[in-house]
Chains A and B, each alone.
Chain A
């Protein structure tokens, strides 16, 4: 049996209330809020954050042979972004890592490629959705990540039943590389195309899967063309699945995997799920939820992450974070670019957060060392992965002078459970939310960018702030 072994979505911590957009521009701005990636997140880190629980849930037996990274907002062109994800997930060197980047359709495309292959594959997606100030995309977009592990065996929680696509060249939405603005042709033109193409793909997919429409428990319709999504949902006349876009905004290439993950959070064995993705064509993928899901529920479900968001983000900060409006940077020297060769030597530490443990004394070294600080043994260390280990704040400070894309810097000395100490930067928190004794988990972030080189490393994120979880 082939299908989805595990699934996870990642919704970043911050929310921008649409009313905050409206207040600035002189309007109402609409109800609700969109998800906003922090200043230190990008499509790659969002994908990593989703992939960590997905791979953990898949279990040690499911080692992907291929990693696909899909995004319409990749950090790098020319250079593969998937290799960063690969490193952060500590995948073996024999695992291939490819980008499917540029188009929104890459997300569902990567999923279809994975389902139609014969090897264990992890599909990761991450997306920063931006737009012009006060524009529809700024308001309707949402940043997120999602990951699906696809493979065979008893661990499959959603069996792949069949799929179909309908493709025709037509111009709906387009954006040039480096541009903020996505332009769109008259909405009804796209809508007509999507309704027609989805009809064809729907029929073909049902027939390839050998099911009828009445068997479908839920149709999950996604796409950046919200009017077309609504029209198709109505036309299918089967129950609609989860609608995460309504809660956090439309997340581009992430949407298909994110909605599937969120649906699997609540699905029951036997459910037949139809994923309908509308983007420059229509793709319909059908799954049947297996009994395995009872014991293999996603460990990091989507809804609690949505509920935990902090919607106090000022619009000005959002604009600065996305470089839509560039405030004057701190009058400090800007960070130097990362040395490729130095980073290359420390891939396991920098990307994988792997320290070392002295075999004789047991002392944990962060970063890894060759010589032990206890006993002085040389080259008697074993690697110790720390990215999934929790820690506790021992002492902390707030640095209002240090260079940061979003000052102030919250900095804490963290002792990890089971040994190891590291002074590290905290993120996704306001200074008053951190205290001595706060519990901390690690999160993969982009510290800064210099000479076009994204500097990735790990930060801490408080998970039990004074107001318990929701506002760390």
Chain B
């Protein structure tokens, strides 16, 4: 199998991102219109001048019509995309391939999720008729299995690991507090987080991503056309995706301290982008911090920490805003919530701001000059997940 990638063949020339909120007064259509409009203005292009659209939503709408109708697109190909929590990134990946193939000159990737209309807290999947034997655990419970397994494997005292996990949440809250688009804009210290009652295993509600509505969008064109639209395009260096086969649920050798799908997506993306030492080469990473143990393990799976060392690196501040590699400088899912279709593009929006020097002063990362940023999503559970890794850079290689 070969994964050749499309390094430097496609560039992002405009982006938009709505505030992520409990948007009681905005529907799916409103959010799409807001994100698409901001995105088009950012690129200086009219929406009907875009050739094709990839539209990600997990369960807020079906078919391309759900984008074409609110935007009143005229005779446009619109593809609805769904791939669990990586849906937004998957829209971008496919839009990039469409442009790279030469089929279109430009394409928009746009994602949305209207979570807050369900009447229930949290994300709730719609039921597919089945035999009734599927697990009905919450995602929080499934990911809570990671913490004790990690503590056991690397000999970290559970109470100590509890504080490490709280520090992840605290860091992301710190960043989110500096981001006007974030849902949560309040800092939380480690002690306050540790004091919360547990909801699943060791995890408290403060270890979980928030819940919000939102939408984000990007326009991609051929790399050679990028400077017609902006002085500071982001060039797509790598796009990688793995759909796990669920063997982690069957395999007694799986130990819940790693997500093999993410390891592989990361490895493939680094190869595509020519990255050999991500910790020193990446300026930042936006990773899928759906729960704090997820971010812990991802540091190792994505090669930002050595195996068994992420907990030390987190305590040492390696991934803080001013650290060696800023992780989730925008505040992450922790501060933004997780409107599934939008999250991957929201992550890319932070790369867009940081690598173009447009992030506000109090949220700037230390090593923007490295010029490379990673986005990562996962969807599903330990043992059975999808994973996306994308890398963009502000220079054509």
Contact = CB atoms under 8 A, between A and B. Distances in A.
B252 A395 contact: no
B303 interface: no
B311 interface: no
B95 interface: no
Contact of A397 (B145, B251, B252): B145
B252 A339 contact: no
B131 A421 contact: no
A411 interface: yes
A336 interface: yes
B317 interface: no
Q: How large is the interface on B (under 10, 10 to 19, 20 to 34, 35 or more residues)?
A: 35 or more
A424 B122 CA distance: 22
- Interface on chain A toward B: helix, strand, loop, or mixed SS? mixed
B138 interface: yes
Contact of B131 (A332, A342, A397): A342
A409 B137 CA distance: 8
B250 A421 contact: yes
B131 A401 contact: no
B136 interface: yes
Most chain-B CB neighbours within 10 Å: which of A333, A350, A403?
A333
A350 B148 contact: no
Interface string A324-362: 000000011101101100110110011000000000000
A402 B137 contact: yes
A398 interface: yes
Given A373-B247, A373-B251, A398-B201, A403 B136 contact: yes
A390 interface: no
Interface in A177-235: none
Interface stretch (A257-265, A293-301, A363-371): A363-371
Contact of A423 (B135, B140, B201): B135
Interface residues of A, number: 46
Nearest to B129: A339
Nearest to A365: B250
B131 A345 contact: yes
A331 B120 contact: yes
Interface in A387-408: 394-403
Given A366-B250, A395-B256, A421-B250, A343 B132 contact: yes
Contacts of A365: 250
A395 B383 CA distance: 13
Interface in A417-446: 419-425, 436
A103 interface: no
A267 B252 CA distance: 45
A320 interface: no
Contacts of A345: 131
A342 B130 contact: yes
A339 B158 CA distance: 42
A255 B362 CA distance: 75
Interface in B150-196: 152
A339 B201 CA distance: 31
A413 B256 contact: yes
A438 to B, nearest CB: 14
Given A336-B127, A345-B131, A401 B251 contact: no
A424 B250 CA distance: 12
A218 B349 CA distance: 82
A447 B199 CA distance: 21
B230 interface: no
Nearest to A330: B120
Nearest to A349: B133
A400 B246 CA distance: 25
B200 interface: yes
Given A342-B131, A346-B131, A395-B149, A401 B136 contact: no
Given A365-B250, A421-B249, A457-B132, A333 B120 contact: yes
B245 interface: yes
A415 interface: yes
B376 to A, nearest CB: 24
Nearest to B143: A397
Nearest to A364: B250
Most chain-A CB neighbours within 10 Å: which of B118, B121, B144, B252?
B252
Interface of A: 331-333, 335-336, 338-339, 342-343, 345-346, 349-350, 363-367, 369, 373, 394-403, 409, 411, 413, 415, 419-425, 436, 447, 455-457
Interface of B: 118, 120-122, 124, 127, 129-133, 135-138, 140-142, 144-145, 148-149, 152, 198-201, 245-247, 249-252, 254, 256, 383
14 contacts: A333-B127, A338-B131, A363-B250, A364-B250, A369-B250, A373-B250, A397-B137, A398-B141, A401-B141, A402-B138, A419-B252, A421-B250, A421-B251, A421-B254
